[in-house]
Structure 1
Amino acid sequence: MKGIILAGGTGTRLYPLTFALSKQLLPVYDKPMIYYPLSTLMLGGVRDFLVISTPTDLPLFQKALGDGAELGLRISYAEQPQAAGIADAFRVGAEFVGSDSVSLVLGDNIFHSPELPDVLARSMKDVDGCVLFGHSVADPRPYGVVEKAPDGRVIGIEEKPSKPRSSEIATGLYIYSNDVVEIAHSITPSARGELEITDVNRVYLQQGRARLHSFGAETTWLDAGTYDGLLDATHFVREQQRSGGRIACLEEIALRRGYIDAGSCYSLGKKHKNSGYGQYVMEIASDTRWGRLTYVAQ
């Protein structure tokens, strides 16, 4: 399973915050926004990533994330010169996807749930078609509204309807079988010249190969691409972390999944020992559950 993080665009909903800095590099409490979608796919077991962004912003993402090797990952990068729609990610990333299935997450979407690792792992296994992830919202009109049958099959997708038939919308998290690349190349751009992800999903709907997993009340989904969304996300992360844990701590996820050992994790935290984030990483690596306390105490 490959993973694509779409972090392009101009961030117009956040102007003037994004005049000089990519939206996905803005801080959400104690870490860059890009950490959150990356951590989401890591929780599902993805280790091979492609970050898609503008030619101007890509060097900044490379500085922030590197090649992923320190975390036991592989992170590569590709340019999207201008906003061309979500589905354009599969054209840009066709060579990266190769013959594999692929997951896609938008760079401003934040997910938090105790069920997330298991849900993603199940959804990424033996993918045939597409898996969408739904969340109920008070006002679904600005989103893609999804209807599903009792067995989870998608039976309707409507983009930004004036009279929604459901309160459930498709979030910015998607899983596809390998033929999504072919489908993305086959669809016609919209009047705005963009490749719409809804058009890709409708192909799977017509084939009877689209499924929807509905996140429940225990799952938090946030769109951090607006002023209020960014502020809400910051407050949410701060409140959750008051209990002592860290949301989207890449080093911790890599350690818990066995991508790196405790010694490597400790060293990564030590690089940032003056920050609360770095201190947390060092504490996690020193936990006796990992059986390496002697090493990190030297």
Structure 2
Amino acid sequence: MKGILLAGGMGSRLLPLTQSLSKQILPIYDKPMIYYPLSTLMLAGIRDILIISSERDIKGFKALLGDGKCYGLSISYKVQSSPRGIAEAFIIGESFIGQEAVSLILGDNIFYGDDFEKTLEKVMRDQEGATIFGYKVENPEAFGVVSFNKEGKVTALEEKPKNPKSCYAVPGLYFYTPDVVQIAKSLKPSLRGELEITDVNKVYLNQNHLRVECLDKKVVWLDTGTPEALLKAANFVEMVQKMQGVAIGCIEEVAYKKGFITKSQLVALAEKMGRNQYGNYLRGLLEG
């Protein structure tokens, strides 16, 4: 399976922070925001990754991550000239996807939980059609929403509804078969002028090929698109890391534990960080 990390958008809710810098480069405590969704794809075992961003911001991601080889990855890049919706990522990434299944994650989404990796492994193992997630929230009107009947069958998908039929939001992580490219091409822009990911999911739903994995509260999902959300995410990461002594979104650690890189490669990555807190954590992985 291949992975697409969509790191586009104008970051308008974060201005002036994003006046000259991609929001996915902004820090979430001790790491750039993009480390967190990238680590999620890696936890799923995905190593061939396409990062899509604006022409202005793509240079920053290349400087940060390069071709990904030092992390045991293959990272390539494509430009989204203007934000025309999440589903456009599949059209931009058509040649990258080819005939393989693909996972798409939004660059401002953070997932963390003890059992989350097992959930990802299950999705990868059983992948057919489309798999999305459901997460209970207090403000579903701000997200895409999935509704169920009493038997747990999906009955509706809505994009930012004024009167949600459910309190289950759809987080920005999706898994699809390769026909998602043709589905995206068949869409008409919404009233917002965008190709909506909800419309992609509706096609799979109508084909009876949509599966929803509901995440419980053992998994934390954070959407970091506002200043308040940025602060909340940074405080959460700091708290967990200091209390539990584990890192969230550490791509070097994930690469090492998944067998993408060797011990000597981890040593090189640790030395690159110097003797700061992050570098010391990576050295601690070798000792532990």
CA contact (8 A) 1:152 1:213 kept: no
How many aligned residue pairs are there?
287
1:148 equivalent in alignment to 2:153: no
Please tell me the root mean square deviation across aligned C-alpha atoms, in Å.
1.2
1:256 equivalent in alignment to 2:247: no
Map of 1:85 onto structure 2: 85
Map of 1:46 onto structure 2: 46
The answer for unaligned runs of 5 or more in structure 1 is 288-298
Q: What secondary structure, in the 3-state scheme, does the structure 2 residue paired with 1:16 have?
A: coil
1:197 equivalent in alignment to 2:178: no
Cα drift, residue 84 of structure 1: 0.7
TM-score, normalised via structure 2 length: 0.97
Aligned-pair identity (%):
49
CA distance in 1 between counterparts of 2:250 and 2:130 reads 28
Map of 1:175 onto structure 2: 175
Q: What secondary structure, in the 3-state scheme, does the structure 1 residue paired with 2:278 have?
A: helix
Q: What secondary structure, in the 3-state scheme, does the structure 2 residue paired with 1:86 have?
A: coil
AA aligned to 2:137 is: V
Q: Which of 157-166 and 73-82 deviates more? A: 157-166
For the structure 1 residues 191 and 44, does the alpha-carbon distance in structure 2 shift closer, same or farther, using more than 3 Å as the test? same
Cα drift, residue 162 of structure 1: 2.0
CA distance in 2 between counterparts of 1:152 and 1:63 reads 45
Map of 2:223 onto structure 1: 223
Map of 2:271 onto structure 1: 270
1:131 equivalent in alignment to 2:131: yes
CA distance in 2 between counterparts of 1:252 and 1:159 reads 36
Cα drift, residue 125 of structure 1: 2.5
Post-superposition Cα deviations, 1:80-119, rounded to whole Å, max 9, x if no partner, equal: 0110100000000010001100000000000001111111
The answer for unaligned runs of 5 or more in structure 2 is none
CA contact (8 A) 1:153 1:211 kept: no
Map of 2:71 onto structure 1: 71
For the structure 1 residues 201 and 73, does the alpha-carbon distance in structure 2 shift closer, same or farther, using more than 3 Å as the test? same
Map of 1:59 onto structure 2: 59
1:162 equivalent in alignment to 2:145: no
TM-score, normalised via structure 1 length: 0.94
Map of 1:17 onto structure 2: 17
AA aligned to 2:13 is: R
Relative contact order, higher structure (CA 8 A, sep 6+): 2
AA aligned to 1:262 is: K
For the structure 1 residues 93 and 213, does the alpha-carbon distance in structure 2 shift closer, same or farther, using more than 3 Å as the test? same
| Runs of 4+ displaced beyond 4 Å | 149-153
Q: Which of 182-191 and 33-42 deviates more? A: 182-191
AA aligned to 1:223 is: D
For the structure 1 residues 274 and 199, does the alpha-carbon distance in structure 2 shift closer, same or farther, using more than 3 Å as the test? same
